[in-house]
Structure 1
Amino acid sequence: MLKASSAAAFLLAVLLSPASALDGTAQTPASQEQVKKLIALWHQHLDGAHTLLEQRSAFEKFMESTPQPTRVQIKHVDADGVEADLMWPARLHHPIGTRAILYIHGGGFYSGSSRTHRALAGALAKAASADVLLINYRRVPEYTYPAQIDDALDAYRWLLASGYRNDNVVIIGDSVGGTIAIEATLRQMRFNAPLPAAVVVMSPITDLAATGASMDDNAVSDPLIGRSQIETMRKAYLGDRSPTDPEVSPLYADMTRFPPLLMQVGSGETLKDDTLRLATKARQAGVDVTTEVWTGMIHQWQMFPFWLDDAKRSNQRVADYAMAHFADKPEE
């Protein structure tokens, strides 16, 4: 396990890491084939699902067919009214109790759950030697904005009330989970409340107005999400609220004083510019931002470490980043 005293260790690891799909090199044929097979499976399970509830059900069934986490303990908890799974490495008989990851799943605000994201959350618990609180926030269409952000904040505050120090908590989210992670942290900033040690977002939607050029440039290469899907989820999530409201789209927010931020995105994603534009804005505001663009990866590739080698590598980097920012470092 990482024993570095600061985030400098993570940056050193980046410089010394072997060439991979991250560093701008060409995607390997093996990686291309793995992504191709994943896309085929995605179409097999999700094509034909049209309404939000149909897509929710199809996604759940798809993920139920994937491998479940191993070598982790799971305890169902009530995190101040938010249903959640508390996960930790199986070698321990009880939660670590010091370091925690608050994991916020993706799924377009309307799908995804602790069941769909257990494999990813479990992998992070083991790799980061941390407890992971994987929450089931309220989803659309049953609950609209701001229920999702309210639930994330309630869960974060539950961790603090349970004895985890804020400098030992990292918030991580994929897709709209990343959106919620950023917005929840921004709200904490507006309240002048304790902030997490760091935030990690994987392919977040930072602009619900969908104005990024990659929306069109990568429309063919990314079958998982596009402009029409974002417009549908935006209407269900926001109603008549403006998608450029900084309290719903981080791209339009003031990022000054935001905690250290790791952003991962695939080069073939429609959401690539959502990451790159927010990263630029955050840096200009003085935020410590690390941006990773993974060659040939599609939206939410990190969810599939059992099928994609690049998902295993990218998830390990997320775990390393979390460990580098925990105030209390894991022991070897």
Structure 2
Amino acid sequence: MRSAHHSGDAVGRSIVAALRAAVSVALLSLCLAAPSLAAEEPVQTEASKAQVAKLLDKMGEYYSKAGTLAERRAAFEQLMQQTPGPSKVQIRQVDAGGVAAELIWPARVHYALGKRAILYVHGGGFYSGSLDTHRASAASFAKAASADVLLIDYRLAPEYPYPSQIDDTLTAYLWLLDSGYESGNIVVLGDAAGGNLAIQAVLRQIKLRGPPPAAVIAISAVTDLAATGASITTNAANDPFGNAFQIEAARKAYLGDRSPTDPRVSPLYADMKGFPPLLMQVGSREISLDDTLRLADRARQAGVDVTTEVLPGMVHQWHLFPFWLDDARKSNQRAAEFALQHFADKPRP
């Protein structure tokens, strides 16, 4: 997400340096909500390191010369076009209260359409990402969680700045309620910038005294647009997608002159009281690592039931690549199980 005035070559050098950085990082904790359930600190396997290295090589092919936000938007689309598409699902285009979206559900016997739903808010720095980049991921969650997934095509910055993205997310959630899904059978899931939007939309729904969803899942979430976390610096050499220039460009495109510490744009500064159960997953190599850890702590202090997972050696939005990363398959399955645990109506065996 470098700003437009930085050259593609400079971005290329930055990414190449990141790709050459050691995949191995310090051991990290898998923090669960209940300390008594805490497991031993996981260590990234050699097989996992090799898989991540191959993924980074593939990413570098598309991002190495993408300097502007528009170029990075196109690079993301091109990268995801090389990945396997969805399978064993039904897909229908829908108008979710004026928000373009796709409703995706498992194509199997004994599946009850219209019972459980996941509202999927894609990532992409507020300025990129689409139905195409996240359709396969949404389909995998539909199958794993035995749920309908509403994948929304919310408006993007800079063409549509804040609060368009949050407006669209909340509109889609209200559309699910109006369509017959009960709040206790809806889980909101967002990755990266989508994690921010998912949390902010639910916070707004709580402030409006409307029924919140059963749970929220935030993967690689951007929770502090002021970028004050220590991992912004300490993970700079480990994260091929994040640096100060990229963060600043995306922030300006999304917020303009609005303060990044406004609790309406950065969940880290918001009052989390009354928030539903929250699962936060993040990779150890991400510059936004502290965005997850600090918000998780803040939410716990507010009485929220929080489960936090830190995945050793994983990069930003690793979960989009379960066909290349064993760790992505495993973490996505845990996320689906989290959704299943919180749906009021459980699926049939």
- TM-score class normalised by the smaller sequence: over 0.9
Question: How far apart in 2 are the matches of 1:286 and 1:296?
Answer: 30
Q: 1:137 aligns with which of 136, 139, 154?
A: 154
* 1:276 corresponds to: 293
* SS at 1:62 equivalent: helix
Contact 1:109 1:237 in 2 (8 A): yes
Percentage of identical aligned residues = 62
What runs of 5+ residues in structure 2 fail to find an aligned partner? Answer: 1-31
CA pair 173-36 structure 1, distance change in 2 beyond 3 A: same
Q: 1:318 aligns with which of 327, 335, 339?
A: 335
* 2:201 corresponds to: 184
Report how far residue 95 of structure 1 moved.
Answer: 6.4
Cα-to-partner distance string for 1:233-252 (whole Å, 9 max, x where unaligned): 00000000000000000000
Contact 2:33 2:305 in 1 (8 A): no
| TM-score after normalising by structure 2 | 0.88
Contact 1:269 1:298 in 2 (8 A): yes
Cα-to-partner distance string for 1:168-227 (whole Å, 9 max, x where unaligned): 000000000000000000000110111000000001110000000001011111112222
* SS at 1:58 equivalent: helix
* 1:194 corresponds to: 211
* 2:56 corresponds to: 39
Question: How far apart in 2 are the matches of 1:221 and 1:128?
Answer: 32
CA pair 183-48 structure 1, distance change in 2 beyond 3 A: same
Task: Write the mapping of 1:1-332 to structure 2, written as runs, cut at 5 A.
Answer: 24-92=41-109, 96-332=113-349
Deviation beyond 2 Å, 4+ runs, structure 1: 92-95
CA pair 51-191 structure 1, distance change in 2 beyond 3 A: same
Question: How far apart in 1 are the matches of 2:216 and 2:246?
Answer: 26
| TM-score after normalising by structure 1 | 0.92
* SS at 1:329 equivalent: coil
* SS at 1:277 equivalent: helix
Q: CA RMSD in A?
A: 1.7
Question: How far apart in 1 are the matches of 2:280 and 2:106?
Answer: 25
Contact 1:24 1:294 in 2 (8 A): no
Cα-to-partner distance string for 1:300-331 (whole Å, 9 max, x where unaligned): 00000010000000000000000000000111
Contact 1:260 1:289 in 2 (8 A): yes
Contact 1:24 1:295 in 2 (8 A): no
Contact 1:87 1:95 in 2 (8 A): no
Cα-to-partner distance string for 1:268-297 (whole Å, 9 max, x where unaligned): 111110000000000000000000011111
Partner amino acid, structure 1, of 2:88? R
Report how far residue 25 of structure 1 moved.
Answer: 2.2
What runs of 5+ residues in structure 1 fail to find an aligned partner? Answer: 1-9
Number of positions where the alignment pairs a residue of Structure 1 with one of Structure 2 = 317
Question: How far apart in 2 are the matches of 1:11 and 1:326?
Answer: 18
